[in-house]
Structure 1
């Protein structure tokens, strides 16, 4: 390892032609090139191994209006950097030799370890494939890569189009201002008029060309004043909202836009005016998942043999028990909005057809439809997609019917239809749990969308969380899986809050060292989602009534 401050070019001249492992002497070496401080912080052990990591410190010279919104400004620069690095990356030998890259960004503005803008300037982190041939150091090629190509790519990224930057920052500002006004207006989400909600294909993030722009029903239209002018759209009120309608008419598309509204979208995405409170959690049935001492007694009870559901534990949850656990885990961690799609749910947990009651002598499930009103009274709103279940419609404060991708307020019709059908059961929030012990997960890594590690009983599918939108978020969760000890002794809600607080200070604070460029921010709620699904995670309930 080079002494801190050793010159990159000097080290390369010394190790030129030696075996590839000699590149290790670059670690800590740095050089200033045209106002950029370039430092090698991690060195790959082999040309075919994951690339090295280079840190670049810069003074971007951004206007004050951009610096006041550092996440948006850094996101804009990161996107330019991603494009520039693709142009300057070139094969310079074997394996990853000559690579310059950062992960591809998605359509939302996130904190990313590849570009962090703070009081001390801009820090960029880049993957660099150190060049070799026959596993020998190519000093001249490495110098060209690190001190010529890389600086040119960074300079290109920093030559920002001020009008493009302004649009990017204003899109961020608008969404942040809308989100800040939702609670005071009694709303949990907002869907702006003119938004393009459908995507080009099932796995695509691009808007569908020629799609029907969203138009809010007049009775649900609200106007939100912002510093960028008034914005009109559909307000999704606190309480219980059911989105109904026949198949293929836009119910799930609307819900997916709402669930994605926890993030700010980039200009041109079509959903820049779809904004949801950050504490929204999408839940679904997950047959076979692990559940550890979760209080699901408000939903599941009277099981055969008197089995306790106040501290329900299983390695193979059913659809209903897994979904009940997901709701309670989300509420326990601080969720204020639960999102549900009937297509991915355990319908026996969603609603109960009372007409079958003469056949069923023992009721073991109190459904979401029965408890929805009580959940709303306790501060947990719901948005539920249903093709037309009368028990769910009867529980709703607002019913939106989607027809040809157009929303219609059908609340008055629904109330007439559901006269005498509304049932009410008191909802009991879950007992709070402490993260008492954490399994030792050694060498956690991502395989596809699965977390694998020594000490993990079986691979864990991280895409069970439908609100993750970038691979970098999966990588951050994997990295945190190896650092769960730092959350020991915290309540689940405190775990979530500590992640959110740490990320505001940067990825280094959260990860305990210099990160690579491959991480995108997650919410604390997302970490808790993962932790709750780790088999054998050690949790302990607090006694009822304890503060």
Structure 2
């Protein structure tokens, strides 16, 4: 392996040459306390910065990384240390284009596994990007040496070497470590207690603004109704209390601006762990939870939606339903079917983002439009069977219709951000409105979904496919935009290139016309689990779920499927 001195000599030799001379720098170099690797060199100073990685010995006590959740917590915390080092003392260089720009993944409120950092038994690898300096298109390689050997070493050592951590950082590391233990214990505890979600007393659910996930200042702390309060013993915080939501059908009701949707949004993100100080550290829900909503105009591939929609006027089959332009009701019926196929055990819904005719049909409408003229069997008539047949619970925000009172197991009213258990009162009052539901449609359905087989497509045979992304809006796969704006549990821009790379890998390696969508998803997740996110390529990748991958495949218009027979 080459040494630091070798790289210095190369940089001295190429100073002032044309920008392609930087290609000579590629390779690994041993430095006093780490190994520097220049993995990819940008084509010109205006292109995306070059890929650089650092490998240091893992000097952290084993307790910080002896389980997956502890390892991910450690990775997240070390990455935050390095980002803070760059922010507190930014590099001030000179040059054209992106000269001297140093960029790296920036974690936010959630703790997510990322390809930017990987902790292994003996080593820690950090990946980031550096704009190699230039004057016009002439190499400023001596400026690069200043970045690599004057600026970065102290940042690397003080962020990645245990013995070099400051007292403040050691304290932050211990807080993150104990929090990870407690969050893991909490998730195990809610499974044992038969709960699908838990919100700790004192949690701060409102966010600072529509563009910030930081906690709102002076927000009302969450306080569980005494009838729903659950006590859970944790390894470090000893004991916490909060609202436990049991399996079954739960309604969240209340007036406008009283916190209904705020509670649901917190539960949506309860699939992720949150950092200390976020306010939602102990807001957790079933890891398979999926937010279901209407998506007018989306594509649907061979879904079984007959349980909710049948006898269409155009005689189109809803047992094997496909469309390039779904309506609100057909898209939400497909969403429920697809969620169950993805192994979802908790559906999250908000009346505001759902198709009204998919949710309920009131008594007057049932009289005016006869059942024989209406192809939709509303969710209110199927929601009990959804739980009985599939074991899938539902948490539903309802602000304008009381139709679900009759079938709900639990009704929570949000009153100025404080939850109240009003189940008994809601049930009693629902007795006066027995016609809100349509019992004649409550016969047991054939099924709620059918498994589907993925068919090979053209991208599987191509050598090079470009995967681009647009924030949290779209994945562009081989120039085809894949709209993911309404997959609401995608929260980090790095999740989109991850999912795009997974779609590509699925086609190149796993899709053979025999495996189901679920089987392909399982194989991909297993490979990532064994080999890490870097198995997908050299971009910045971020943790996603099997459910997220399947949701993306369902919205990929060029993807062909068939139902498994």
TM-score over 0.5 (shorter chain): yes
Q: How far does residue 396 in structure 1 lie from its aligned partner after superposition? A: 1.0
- Does 2:526 match 1:501? yes
- Does 2:444 match 1:426? yes
Corresponding position of 1:41: 39
- Does 2:132 match 1:130? yes
Question: What is the RMSD of the two structures over their aligned residues, measured on CA atoms?
Answer: 2.0
Corresponding position of 1:89: 91
Q: How far does residue 487 in structure 1 lie from its aligned partner after superposition? A: 3.4
Partner of 1:152, secondary structure, is helix
CA distance in 1, matches of 2:6, 2:317: 65
Corresponding position of 1:103: 105
- Does 2:206 match 1:195? no
CA distance in 2, matches of 1:436, 1:260: 32
Q: How far does residue 99 in structure 1 lie from its aligned partner after superposition? A: 1.4
CA distance in 1, matches of 2:187, 2:314: 48
Matches within 5 A, 1:108-127: 108-127=110-129
Q: C-alpha offsets along residues 332-352 of structure 1, whole Å, 9 cap, x if unaligned?
A: 011111110111110111112
Q: How far does residue 293 in structure 1 lie from its aligned partner after superposition? A: 0.8
Partner of 2:525, secondary structure, is helix
Q: How far does residue 460 in structure 1 lie from its aligned partner after superposition? A: 2.2
Corresponding position of 2:49: 51
Tell me if structure 2 keeps the 8 A contact 1:7–1:30: no
Tell me if structure 1 keeps the 8 A contact 2:58–2:120: no
Counterparts in 2 of 1:4 and 1:242: CA distance versus 1, 3 Å: farther
Matches within 5 A, 1:287-366: 287-361=296-370, 362-366=373-377
- Does 2:517 match 1:519? no
Corresponding position of 1:444: 467
Tell me if structure 2 keeps the 8 A contact 1:336–1:380: yes
CA distance in 2, matches of 1:370, 1:7: 73
Tell me if structure 2 keeps the 8 A contact 1:499–1:510: no
CA distance in 1, matches of 2:185, 2:458: 41
Which deviates further from its counterpart, 413-422 or 285-294?
413-422
TM-score (ref. length: structure 1): 0.94
Matches within 5 A, 1:367-386: 367-377=378-388, 378-386=390-398
CA distance in 2, matches of 1:236, 1:209: 26
CA distance in 1, matches of 2:354, 2:3: 55
Task: Note the residue ranges of structure 1 that are not aligned, 5 or more in a row.
Answer: none
Which deviates further from its counterpart, 279-288 or 484-493?
484-493
Partner of 1:96, secondary structure, is coil
Q: How far does residue 493 in structure 1 lie from its aligned partner after superposition? A: 1.8
Q: How far does residue 210 in structure 1 lie from its aligned partner after superposition? A: 0.5
Corresponding position of 1:404: 416
CA distance in 2, matches of 1:373, 1:542: 26
Tell me if structure 2 keeps the 8 A contact 1:300–1:321: yes
Q: How far does residue 509 in structure 1 lie from its aligned partner after superposition? A: 5.6
Corresponding position of 1:220: 228
Tell me if structure 2 keeps the 8 A contact 1:337–1:381: yes
Partner of 1:206, secondary structure, is strand
Which deviates further from its counterpart, 447-456 or 357-366?
447-456
Tell me if structure 1 keeps the 8 A contact 2:58–2:122: no
Q: C-alpha offsets along residues 166-206 of structure 1, whole Å, 9 cap, x if unaligned?
A: 11111111111111122221111110110000001112111
Q: How far does residue 455 in structure 1 lie from its aligned partner after superposition? A: 5.3
Partner of 2:180, secondary structure, is helix
Q: How far does residue 527 in structure 1 lie from its aligned partner after superposition? A: 1.1
Corresponding position of 1:236: 245
Which deviates further from its counterpart, 306-315 or 421-430?
421-430
Q: How far does residue 439 in structure 1 lie from its aligned partner after superposition? A: 4.3
CA distance in 2, matches of 1:430, 1:492: 13
Partner of 2:406, secondary structure, is helix
CA distance in 2, matches of 1:437, 1:150: 46
The one of 453, 458, 482 aligned to 2:504: 482
Q: How far does residue 82 in structure 1 lie from its aligned partner after superposition? A: 1.3
CA distance in 2, matches of 1:212, 1:392: 28
Q: How far does residue 417 in structure 1 lie from its aligned partner after superposition? A: 1.7
Partner of 1:34, secondary structure, is coil
The one of 173, 179, 195 aligned to 2:187: 179
Q: C-alpha offsets along residues 137-188 of structure 1, whole Å, 9 cap, x if unaligned?
A: 1121111212332222212223432211011111111111111122221111
Q: How far does residue 116 in structure 1 lie from its aligned partner after superposition? A: 1.1
Counterparts in 2 of 1:262 and 1:429: CA distance versus 1, 3 Å: same
Tell me if structure 1 keeps the 8 A contact 2:2–2:29: no
CA distance in 1, matches of 2:426, 2:59: 57
CA distance in 2, matches of 1:64, 1:536: 47
TM-score (ref. length: structure 2): 0.91
CA distance in 2, matches of 1:395, 1:205: 34
Paired residues in the alignment total 536
Tell me if structure 1 keeps the 8 A contact 2:534–2:541: no
Which deviates further from its counterpart, 425-434 or 118-127?
425-434
Q: How far does residue 438 in structure 1 lie from its aligned partner after superposition? A: 3.2
CA distance in 2, matches of 1:492, 1:308: 21
Q: C-alpha offsets along residues 422-448 of structure 1, whole Å, 9 cap, x if unaligned?
A: 644535221100112234283120134
CA distance in 2, matches of 1:267, 1:341: 28
Tell me if structure 1 keeps the 8 A contact 2:105–2:128: no
Corresponding position of 1:15: 14
Q: How far does residue 85 in structure 1 lie from its aligned partner after superposition? A: 2.4
- Does 2:144 match 1:139? no
CA distance in 1, matches of 2:97, 2:479: 31
Task: Note the residue ranges of structure 2 that are not aligned, 5 or more in a row.
Answer: none
Partner of 1:391, secondary structure, is coil
CA distance in 2, matches of 1:439, 1:366: 38
Partner of 1:119, secondary structure, is coil
Partner of 1:111, secondary structure, is coil
CA distance in 2, matches of 1:132, 1:473: 32
CA distance in 2, matches of 1:162, 1:126: 23
CA distance in 2, matches of 1:89, 1:315: 50
Partner of 2:344, secondary structure, is coil
Q: C-alpha offsets along residues 301-344 of structure 1, whole Å, 9 cap, x if unaligned?
A: 11013210111111111011111111111110111111101111
- Does 2:37 match 1:25? no
Tell me if structure 1 keeps the 8 A contact 2:33–2:56: yes
CA distance in 2, matches of 1:306, 1:382: 31
